[in-house]
């Protein structure tokens, strides 16, 4: 089966909403551990304002101190030109830009219209000018928790506009877990035909329990790149208590057990995941952490 490529976003997307600061050394150690599990990409941090996201105020130090393991791309979230300058100075492998395909969500999240976001991100893309790779993450592609449906044509329009600006990749995000596998099948079919030369990544949440079913539908449709978050860390502000990002090790274990080549050393990844609850101070949603591998056999009970 296809070779798949995984991007772990725990230290950016996962940590971002954690209430207690995670020490810089712990972030560096976690990224270094993940780097040795076989991820194609790691979203290490975000070059945003320290005031907006205090958790990621140490972005420069993190990027300066981590090991840059060959074969792993280190990407960072960048909201604007100032963030792009900082990211380039830190020699990142990729800038990940973000905007929403829903006007209401973009206004709520980024405080500007989609059109203004596009202009701002276009400026970043021109500024970077091939100095490093650029990915654009499009939020709420499968639905907006405030607007409801987001038309497929709207997603196609924004994806094509960014592809026309020469970005290497586009991530189609189910930001609040509204996608279903049939919608995924249709969307990945259309977008792959629209953008045959663009790296497409799918970013799913498990908010309503169907995160891995959506991964399956995307993989069946030919998608080879996925975001995931160690332990399933990272929530959804519109559904308190619900799961957020799909859990990297759960998704990777599913695809590996199906025969896909994920490139990931799953026992090693599980070892890294086991340290996560202590690091963040609470249980995490990942199931494989609790259940163990299917190959972990149990002793038969002693008969009375």
Which parts of this chain interact with a copy of itself (CB under 8 A)? 104, 107-108, 111, 143, 145-148, 177-178, 180-183, 206-213, 215-217, 236, 238-243, 247, 250-251, 253-254, 257-259, 286-288, 290-292, 294-295, 297-301, 303
**Cβ 158 vs Cβ 99: under 8 Å:** yes
What is the smallest separation between the CB atom of 159 and a copy of itself, expressed in angstroms? 22
* Cα 36-23-28 angle, rounded to 5 deg: 20
For 296, counting Cβ atoms within 10 Å of its Cβ (0-12 exposed, 13-18 middle, 19+ buried), the class is exposed
* Angstrom distance (rounded) from CA 182 to CA 180: 6
What is the smallest separation between the CB atom of 246 and a copy of itself, expressed in angstroms? 8
What is the smallest separation between the CB atom of 205 and a copy of itself, expressed in angstroms? 9
Nearest to a copy of itself of 48, 248 (CB atom): 248
Q: Which of 186, 111, 80 is nearest to 142 (CA)?
A: 186
- Collapse the DSSP code of 4 into the 3-class scheme (helix H, G, I; strand E, B; otherwise coil) and give the result: coil
Q: Which of 138, 132, 42 is nearest to 87 (CA)?
A: 132
- Collapse the DSSP code of 76 into the 3-class scheme (helix H, G, I; strand E, B; otherwise coil) and give the result: strand
What is the smallest separation between the CB atom of 164 and a copy of itself, expressed in angstroms? 30
Give phi and psi for 122, each to the nearest 5.
-60, -40
> Which of 141, 173, 236, 247 is labelled catalytic?
236
Nearest to a copy of itself of 130, 294 (CB atom): 294
Nearest to a copy of itself of 159, 184 (CB atom): 184
What is the smallest separation between the CB atom of 58 and a copy of itself, expressed in angstroms? 27
**Residue 236 known to be catalytic:** yes
Q: Which of 49, 76, 51, 48 is nearest to 63 (CA)?
A: 76
CB burial readout 229-247, b (16+ within 10 A) else e: bbbbbbbbebeeebbbbbb
Nearest to a copy of itself of 35, 248 (CB atom): 248
Nearest to a copy of itself of 51, 70 (CB atom): 51
Q: Which residues are catalytic?
A: 236
């Amino acid at each position: 089966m296809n070779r798949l490529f995984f991007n772990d976003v725990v230290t950016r997307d996962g940590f971002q909403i954690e209430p207690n600061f995670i020490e810089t050394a712990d972030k560096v150690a976690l990224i270094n551990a993940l780097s040795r599990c076989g991820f194609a990409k790691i979203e290490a941090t975000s070059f945003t304002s320290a005031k907006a996201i205090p958790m990621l105020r140490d972005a420069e130090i993190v990027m300066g101190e981590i090991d840059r393991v060959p074969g792993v791309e280190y990407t960072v979230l960048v909201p604007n030109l100032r963030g792009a300058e900082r990211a380039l100075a830190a020699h990142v492998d990729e800038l990940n830009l973000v905007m929403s395909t829903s006007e209401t969500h973009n206004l709520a999240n980024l405080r500007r219209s989609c059109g203004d976001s596009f202009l701002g991100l276009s400026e970043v893309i021109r500024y970077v000018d091939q100095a490093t790779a650029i990915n654009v993450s499009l939020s709420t592609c499968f639905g907006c928790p405030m607007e409801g449906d987001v038309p497929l044509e709207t997603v196609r329009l924004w994806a094509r506009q960014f592809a026309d600006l020469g970005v290497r990749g586009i991530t189609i995000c189910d930001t609040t877990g509204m996608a279903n596998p049939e919608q995924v099948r249709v969307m990945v079919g259309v977008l792959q035909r629209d953008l045959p030369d663009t790296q497409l990544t799918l970013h799913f949440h498990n908010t309503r329990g169907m995160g891995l079913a959506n991964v399956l539908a995307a993989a069946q449709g030919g998608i080879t790149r996925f975001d995931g978050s160690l332990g399933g860390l990272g929530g959804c502000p519109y559904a308190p208590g619900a799961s957020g990002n799909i859990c990297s090790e759960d998704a990777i274990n599913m695809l590996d057990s199906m025969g896909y080549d994920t490139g990931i050393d799953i026992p090693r990844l599980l070892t890294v995941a086991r340290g996560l609850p202590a690091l963040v101070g609470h249980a995490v949603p990942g199931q494989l952490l609790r259940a163990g591998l299917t190959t972990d056999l149990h002793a038969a009970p002693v008969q009375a």
